[in-house]
Chain A
Amino acid sequence: MKLYLYGIIDSSDQITESIYGLEGSSVYNIPFCDIGAVVSEISPPIQGVTEGAVLEHGAVVEKLMADFTVLPVRFQTVIEGRDNLLLMMQSYYKDFKDNLARLHNKLEFGIKVIWPAEKIKENIIKTLKKGKQKDSESNSSQGRKFMTEKFEKYKIDKEFQAKADKFIKVMDTFFSKFATEKKLRKLKTEHLLLDAVYLVEKSQESNFREAFEHIKSARSDFKYLFSGPWPAYNFVVLSKQSALLTDSQQTDLLDKVTQDQMLVGADSI
C-alpha cells in the first residue's frame, strides 16, 4: 500500500473533519508520538503533474492549516507502506518537532513587485550621459570600442542593481517589522524587482497587510502581488542528518520515499 503524504502536523489525534485528497481519497492522520503524518492511500502511481492534482494537494494542506501547524510536504511525495512512514517519522522526529515549534502560529505571505525597468534604465542612461560626452569618439580600435560599450553597459547595470537594492531595502523595512523570517529574491527577471516570502505571526497578519497597502500606495508606477496566508512552504528547514539512523540506514530509507523530493516545503508558490 502506498501512502501519499500531504504534511506533518502537530497533533497525533485523528482528523475530525472529512478531508478528501488526491483522486478523492480519504485523508487521515498517522500518529507518531505527539505529531502526525497526514496521508491518503493511493494505488496506481501518480501520472505526472497535473493542475488538478496540485490543487487537490494544496487544498488538503490549506484545510489542515486551519486547525494545525503544518509542515507542508512537496507534491508527489509517496511512501511505501505504513512501516516506512513510521521509520521516516522516527528519523526526522526532532527536525519535525523543531520546525513545528518554530512555525507554530505563523503564516507565510508572498509579495512580488514589478517595476518599470525600461523607465528606470532610461533615467540612469540620461544621468550617466550628462556626466560625459567627449570620451568615446577618439577611440578607434575595435578592442577599445568594445570595451567602451561594455563599460557603459556595466555602469548602467551597476546603477540599475543599486536602485533595485535601494527600493527593496525600503519595502523590506516596512514588511520586516511584522515578520519573523523572510526570503527575498531580487530581480529574478529584469522587471520582477522583488519576489519575497515572509513568515508572519498570526497576530501580526493585519499589520502586515497594512504595511503592504502602505507600500502599494507609495509608488503607483510599480505593480504588486500579495498572496497568502500560505502554509510555511518556504520556511521548513530540515537538518541533513538524522540522529536516529546511520548513513546507510538513512540512504535505504530515502530510497523508499519515491520521487526525487524529500520533505521540505515547495520552492515556490
Chain B
Amino acid sequence: MIANTIVETESPEEFIEEIEKAQDCLPKKIDANPKTVEKGLAKLVLTLIELIRKLLEKQAMRRVEAGSLSDEEIENVGETLMKLENKMDELKEIFDLKDEELNLNLGPLGDLM
C-alpha cells in the first residue's frame, strides 16, 4: 500500500509564488563567499538595526495611540524616526539590499521580523 499523498489546489502558480516569496528572505546558510562577504555582513547588521528601528517605531505608535505623548514629543520622535528611516534607505541602497532581504530565520521561533 502506498500513502497516496496529494497536493490539491486550484491556484498552483499563486501558491508557488507566495512560497517562493516567503523563502526568498530566509537564507538557510550564511553566504561566506569572499566576493559577497561585505554585503552579507551589511545585511546582518542592517537587519539588526532595522529590527531596533521597527521596535522603536512600534513603541512610538503605541504611545501615540494611548495618548501618552505631548505634541512636542510627537514632533521630536517623528523627526528622529524619519531621519533614521532615511539613513536606513541610504544604507540599503549602498549595499543593494531590499526590505524583504532584511530578515533572519530563527528556526523554530520563526522569522525575526
Contacts and interface: CB of A to CB of B under 8 A. Distances in A.
A231 B2 CA distance: 12
A154 B21 contact: no
A201 interface: no
Listed residue (A67, A141, A150, A151) with the most chain B CB atoms within 10 angstroms of its CB: A150
B2 A63 contact: yes
B112 to A, nearest CB: 13
A62 B58 contact: no
Interface string A213-240: 0000000000111111111000000000
Interface stretch (A8-16, A86-94, A119-127, A184-192): A184-192
B74 A144 contact: yes
Interface of A: 62-63, 65-67, 107, 112, 114, 141-147, 150-151, 154-155, 185, 188-189, 191-192, 195, 223-231
Interface string B63-89: 011000001001111111110000000
Contacts of A191: 14, 18
Contacts of A188: 18, 22, 111
B93 interface: no
A114 B74 contact: no
B99 interface: no
Contacts of B61: 150-151, 154
Contacts of A229: 3-5
B7 interface: yes
Nearest to A264: B108
Interface in B3-28: 3-12, 14-15, 18-19, 21-22
Interface of B: 1-12, 14-15, 18-19, 21-22, 57-58, 60-61, 64-65, 71, 74-82, 110-111
Contacts of A67: 1
Contact of B14 (A141, A150, A223, A228): A223
Contact of B79 (A114, A142, A195, A230): A142
Contacts of B5: 62, 227-230
| Interface SS majority for chain B | helix
Contacts of A231: 3
| Interface SS majority for chain A | mixed
Contacts of A230: 3, 5
B64 A189 contact: no
Listed residue (B4, B74, B110) with the most chain A CB atoms within 10 angstroms of its CB: B74
24 contacts: A62-B2, A66-B3, A114-B11, A114-B14, A141-B75, A141-B79, A142-B79, A143-B76, A144-B74, A147-B60, A147-B74, A150-B61, A150-B78, A151-B65, A154-B65, A185-B110, A192-B21, A192-B22, A225-B9, A226-B6, A226-B9, A227-B6, A227-B8, A229-B4
A143 B15 contact: no
Listed residue (B5, B61, B81) with the most chain A CB atoms within 10 angstroms of its CB: B5
A161 to B, nearest CB: 12
A185 B79 CA distance: 35
Listed residue (B4, B77, B78, B81) with the most chain A CB atoms within 10 angstroms of its CB: B78
B64 A147 contact: yes
A146 B6 contact: no
Nearest to B108: A267
A141 B5 CA distance: 60
A142 B82 CA distance: 9
